[in-house]
Chain A
Amino acid sequence: MLTSLMLTPGAAATQQAATLYGTVRDSATGHALEDARVGVQGTAYVPTDATGRYTLTGIAAGTVVVRAQRFGYRAATDTLTLAPGDSVAANFVLRPSALHMDPLVVTAAKRSQLLDQVVTSVALVQDSELARRAVNTVDEAVDKAPGVQFLNGQVNIRGSSGYVQGLGARVLLLVDGVPANEGDRGGINWDMLPVDQVERVEIVKGAGSTLYGSAALGGVVNLITREIPAGSHARVRATAGSYANPPDTIWRFRNYTGAQEGLDVTASYGGDALRAGLTAGARHSDGYREQDRSDHWQMVGKGEWLPSAATRLRLTGSWASNQYQAPLLWCERGTCVDRGQAYQPFRIDTSQAGAYTRSDKGLFAATVEHTMSPRESWLARGSWLRTDFTDYRRPVGDFGVANRYGVEVRGLVRPTASRVVTVGAEGALSDVTSDIFGNHWQDEFAAYGESEQRLGPARMTAGARVDYIAVDGGGLSAVVSPRAGLVLPGARGTLVWRLSVGRGFRAPSLAERFVQTSLGGLTVVPNPGLGPETAWSFEVGNAAQFGTVVRTDAALFWTEASDLIEPTVDPMSAQIQFKNLQRARLAGLDVAVYAFPLTPHLSTSLAYTLLYTRELAHDTVPARPLAFRPRHLLTLGADYTFGGFDLGADFRYSSSFERVELYPPTDPRVSPKVLDLRAGYQRDALSVRLLVANALNYLYNLAPQTLAPVRTVTMTLTWIY
């Protein structure tokens, strides 16, 4: 009854409006294109389903321009005249052209805009790339993006974070625009969403605090989840794989080959006014080293109500539960059955054998979007992120329960045809209950605004955000984060220059302020007076297209950071404490080249980042490189597609860190050189993909005494109904 009442206004409205339906297909193969976007220009777009079908309802009668687009294809448009109540078919055939890049992004300015209109560098990982790479977790998908490197689960964008063992990421994670960094440690849970639910990833590089506030010091990663297609659909993704055994028998630690397997099942229904989808899944892994077994369960739900063409209410929820053995530092001589070796990279110190962690996390959000007119729209959102962990270790374990409640209201106004203004306000309450972090909470209030003005072909952007932060009900501290930018297209539209300067900041996490524990004989003491760390980021970028063969994107960047929060060791008192210590400089060059050198079937890519980092002199410490940052980061990729088959490879090289911290001198350091191979076959609704990650079984470590993943062979089967 309630449902029918809710549907009534929408149903009445659609009686006066027209409906469009049809299919979108690939011009070369004739295959249906899933997740193509179709819409009337100026309104919301809908995705096509697995059979390439779409339905657009509630279209105002009159002459409309309908556009169909998909990443890797040239967009197509059609002009139609619709009468009230019409139901008209409009089919689209898109030509493949991976170089034809006019994707929409939503993260850089908190609104939809074309990629070449963004003032900062944005890297995109599209769903086609996610599928082709056949990765199993979201962090694996993000890892190969230009300028991005993961250190044991900690994301670095242009060297922003280094390695601080999960405390206080300098990158903000968003899930469909909802902040999702942990309320206590400020870290990121990359396993909160199954990778199959992610449609694309937008990675905004450089300080993004003007719109996003704390944590967006080094960049923002936004996971955009799949839209619910029209009609009834199902999706099954099954994976199975195995880990390579140690290449030398002296390193063997078990008498069987480790395996991993996983299953995700999605069901969805999309009607005119109501849409809903539910995904459930589980994964198991034996791990590739001693004490590395893990189990993972997850569930994701999404519901939408569209009472009118101008209004959308979206409810999303995801929950994940993990139980994993704690893969502790590898064994050095004398701390395990070392077989006479200086270290055993596959084994752990036996004093912590049996340690494991139980972790649960959930993210729930409700969003209302309303378009009042082509010139005005608003959005309101509430979210709740909960994390709960218990470490079972000797002699005693730790636990922590944290919440982050967030609200945001945002308005988008186009006062003139050449100006766009975004304004908004945000609030957040984070709390923690833990034996090592204590019982504390933090309030955050913020207001922001940014305006873009078009001046001829150029676009100028200016904005600012002010954040107020209070801890445990204490006095408010304020941080102002301005940004200005310019986008200047060159002649013939094949060249775009961008320039930006902005300020970023990160408030210390509750964990950094209040952690109180002991670590290897050291006492970790709290520092409630810890202040935020800040940075100014400058960037000059250029995107260029050379015919239909080569596209490039390059950026020079420069970041001056102040008051960086780092753990300090006082040998006199044998204490560790987080302090605002460092001034640092991170500068470099980020280059990406995409090319079709021989045939349209072959695509190649090159991404290179040159990074110069310096911790500036302070106290008695001389200037030196920042720890855990590589000078060179290179990723090469090649993919060959023919009919339903595709073959591909990625190669990643990272130079040795110039400086590391807390490494024992016996710990070897090598430059990672990792080759991934992949193959796939797709026929209609079924696809099979083979991934051989680290195919050469190159053994290396990025984090201290922590072996990076060995060769892993994974087969993924996806079926779509």
Chain B
Amino acid sequence: MPRRAPPFTALFALLCGAACNGGLQPLAPPTSCPRGLVGICGTITFQGTVPDSTQAVYVVAYHTFPHSRDSLFTFQPSLPLLQKLPLDGATAFYAIPVAAGRYEWVVAVWVKQGFTLANADSTLREAGYYRDGANPSLPGVVNVYAQGTDSIDFVIDFGQMHPPCSYYSPPCP
């Protein structure tokens, strides 16, 4: 009978050993797309001074350019998955989960304190977007496949932000 002891002891030791490693560990912010992410990653370079009224800045992606207010909230990722960009450095890396596909506009959205859906026109601003390499005045198209699309880098200029109505009809009053 006592011969059964070693397997039990060994099993328990094995399990304890397995639990000694792993688990959550300190993690520096990523500088490239996390493994397994299907989405868009890149580095934002900040220019200008962050306004005191800033609530948050997010990066979002649109399959098609939003030409009307009705399509303003058709971006990805979905609202609960939005991540605030850290604003305490000169640059910030971002990684947003979006479905595989083609995206016409990858844009940083500045959100003013007190934002609600009703006052979105006055509390949201386009703060910068990924630009076409050949013609920087146009948005750059980003294709996402079954993994992260990296190096979608662009600039946020807090001194050059535009309200949503700048991009659709009727134009801003």
Q: A and B from one assembly?
A: yes
Q: How far is the CB of A344 from chain B (nearest CB, A)?
A: 9
A666 touches B73 (CB 8 A): no
Let me know if B10 is at the binding interface, CB within 8 A. no
User: Within the assembled complex, what's the spacing in Å between the Cα atoms of A571 and B75?
Assistant: 7
- Residue B81 at the chain A interface, CB threshold 8 Å: yes
- The distance in angstroms between the C-alpha atoms of A248 and B25, with both chains bound, is 8
Q: Specify which of A333, A569, A574 is in contact with B86 (CB 8 Å cutoff).
A: A333
Residues in A whose Cβ lies below 8 Å from that of B25: 248, 668
Q: Is the CB of B5 within 8 A of A664?
A: no
Contact yes or no, B80 A520, CB < 8 A: yes
For A343, the chain B residues whose CB sits under 8 A away are 27
A571:B24 contact, CB within 8 angstroms = no
Question: Are A666 and B23 neighbours in the complex by a CB distance under 8 Å?
Answer: no
Contact A571 B74 (CB under 8 A): yes
The contact of B27 among A651, A668, A700, by CB within 8 Å, is A668
With A342-B30, A523-B117, A673-B18 in contact, is A598–B5 under 8 Å at CB?
Answer: yes
A15 and B78 CA atoms in complex are apart in Å by 76
**Roughly how many angstroms separate A557 CA and B34 CA in the complex, as a whole number?**
37
Q: B144-165: which have CB < 8 Å to A?
A: none
Please name all residues of chain A whose beta carbon is closer than 8 Å to the beta carbon of B171 when the two chains form the complex: none
Per a CB cutoff under 8 Å, which of A604, A665, A671, A700 touches B8?
A: A604
Report which of A251, A571, A673 forms a contact with B26, defined as CB distance below 8 A.
A251
Tell which of B8, B74, B88, B111 has the most Cβ of chain A within 10 Å. Answer: B8
A-B contact pairs, 8 of them (CB 8 A): A251-B26, A334-B88, A521-B111, A521-B115, A574-B79, A651-B15, A665-B96, A665-B97
CA distance A64 to B95 in the complex (A): 76
The smallest C-beta distance from A314 to any residue of chain B, in angstroms, reads 44
What per-residue 1/0 map shows which CB atoms of B39-73 lie under 8 Å from chain A? 10000000000000000000000000000001001
Chain A residue, CB-CB nearest to B118? A523
Q: Which A-chain residue is minimally distant from B76 (CB atoms)?
A: A571
A residues with CB within 8 A of B = 248, 250-251, 332-335, 338, 340-343, 345, 518-523, 569, 571-574, 597-598, 604, 636, 638, 649, 651, 653, 662-666, 668, 670-671, 673-675, 696, 698-701, 707
B37 at the interface (CB under 8 A from A): yes
Give per-residue flags for B4-41: 1 if the beta carbon is below 8 A from chain A beta carbons, else 0: 11001001100110111011111111100010010100
Q: Is the interface of B mostly helix, strand, loop or mixed?
A: loop
B117 neighbours in A (Cβ, 8 Å): 521, 523, 574
Kindly list chain B residues whose C-beta atoms are within 8 Å of the C-beta of A598: 1-2, 4-5
CA distance in complex: A154, B137 (Å): 51
Asked if B84 lies at the interface with its beta carbon under 8 angstroms from chain A, I say yes
Chain B contacts to A: CB under 8 angstroms: 1-2, 4-5, 8, 11-12, 15-16, 18-20, 22-30, 34, 37, 39, 70, 73-76, 78-88, 92, 95-97, 111, 115-117
* Complex contacts, B116 vs chain A, CB 8 Å: 518, 521
Alpha-carbon gap, A522 to B29, bound state (A): 27
Q: Which of B5, B70, B84, B86 contacts A572 (CB 8 A)?
A: B70
When C-beta atoms are compared, the residue in chain A nearest to B41 turns out to be: A665
The answer to whether A700 touches B24, judged by C-beta atoms less than 8 angstroms apart, is yes
Q: For the complex, what is the distance from the CA of A674 to the CA of B96, rounded to whole Å?
A: 32
Chain B residues, Cβ within 8 Å of A335: 84
Q: Which residue of A lies closest to B5 (CB)?
A: A598
A253 to chain B, nearest CB (A): 13
Closest chain A CB from B123 CB (angstroms) = 10
Report how far A662 CA is from B115 CA in the complex, Å.
21
Give the interface centre of A334, A604, A649, A699 by most chain B CB atoms within 10 Å. Answer: A334
Are A334 and B73 neighbours in the complex by a CB distance under 8 Å?
no
Contacts of B79 in A (CB 8 A): 520-522, 569, 571, 574
Contacts of A523 in B (CB 8 A): 117
Q: Are A700 and B74 in contact (CB under 8 A)?
A: no
Q: Which listed residue (A571, A671, A707) contacts B73, Cβ 8 A?
A: A571
From B4, B26, B34, B81, contact of A250 by CB (8 A): B26
Closest Cβ neighbor of B88 among chain A residues: A334
A665 to B115, CA, bound (A): 25
| B33 to chain A: closest residue by CB | A665
Partner of B19, one of A332, A345, A569, A673: A673
Q: Is the CB of A665 within 8 A of B34?
A: yes
Given contacts A574-B117, A651-B12, contact A332 B22 (CB under 8 A): no
Known contacts A345-B24, A604-B8, A666-B95; A574 and B85 CB within 8 A of each other: no
Please judge, given known A-B contacts A334-B87, A664-B83, whether A573 and B28 are in contact too, CB under 8 Å: no
Cross-chain contact of B84 among A332, A345, A651 (Cβ < 8 A): A332
Residues of B within 8 A of A674 (CB): 19
Q: Which residues of A contact B16 (CB under 8 A)?
A: 651, 675, 696
A520–B115 alpha-carbon span in the complex (Å): 10
Nearest 3 pairs between A and B by C-beta?
A334-B86, A673-B19, A699-B24
B75→A340 contact, CB < 8 A: no
Instruction: For A651, list chain B residues within 8 Å (CB).
Output: 12, 15-16, 19
Question: In the complex, what residues of A have CB within 8 A of residue B73's CB?
Answer: 571-574
- A597 and B2 CA atoms in complex are apart in Å by 9
A35 → chain B closest CB, angstroms: 31
Min C-beta distance of B42 to chain A, whole Å: 14
- Whether the pair A653, B74 counts as a contact (CB closer than 8 A) is no
Contact of A569 among B37, B78, B83, B92 (CB under 8 A): B78
Q: What residues of chain B lie closer than 8 Å to A670, measured between beta carbons?
A: 22-24
Task: Give which listed residue, B23, B27, B30, B80, contacts A522 with CB less than 8 A.
Answer: B80
User: How many Å from the CB of B12 to the closest CB on chain A?
Assistant: 7
Contacts of B28 in A (CB 8 A): 340-342
B56 to chain A, nearest CB (A): 9
Chain B positions within 8 Å of A597 at CB level: 1, 4, 8
| CB closest chain-A residue, reference B73 | A574
- Do residues A338 and B26 form an inter-chain contact, with CB atoms below 8 A? no
